[in-house]
Structure 1
Amino acid sequence: MAIEEDDLPRRRDDVLAALTKQSLDPLSVDELNERIAILEAEIERVKAHRAAASSYKANAEALFKKG
């Protein structure tokens, strides 16, 4: 029996899950464009954080390899 994504436990504050379930039907084209711009900005913020975290991890690994 495969586990479905909806069967997995989620944090109570999982805004991503709520966001993906929100109906887009009531939104105007302008509201959809604004939503896309906000989501694209959030994607860039997450990518920057991931890059910083990867750099931090690589630096820590390099430090411990020298010792």
Structure 2
Amino acid sequence: MTFKDEFADLEPRAAKPTPKDLTALGVAELQDYIAGLEAEIARARAAISAKEAQKSAAEAFFKKP
């Protein structure tokens, strides 16, 4: 089994979403939309922090004395 074969069944990355049309939204709806986006940003930042911590731990484990 080759490297390419191992990953052949993985899902392709989704395309970037198109920007939402904001013209029809009212102020309250826009505020809710922003709150949802901020929550998603916080979730992404938490995932980045977790991955950086894993990377640091792996680097420390394999660090040459």
- TM-score under structure 2 normalisation? 0.70
**Which digits, 9 at most, give the CA deviation of each residue in 1:7-51, with x for residues without a partner?**
xxxx5x33x431x2x221011111101000000011111111100
Distance in 1 (alpha carbons) for counterparts of 2:58 and 2:64: 10
The 3-state SS of whatever aligns with 1:53 is helix
Distance in 1 (alpha carbons) for counterparts of 2:51 and 2:25: 35
Q: Identify the match of residue 48 of structure 1 among 39, 43, 46.
A: 46
Aligned residue runs from structure 1 range 1-67, under 5 A? 13-14=14-15, 16-18=16-18, 20=19, 22-66=20-64
Query: What value does the CA root-mean-square deviation take over the aligned residues?
Result: 1.7
Identity %: 43
- TM-score under structure 1 normalisation? 0.68
Q: Which is richer in helix?
A: 1
Query: What runs of 5+ residues in structure 2 fail to find an aligned partner?
Result: 1-12
Larger Rg: 2
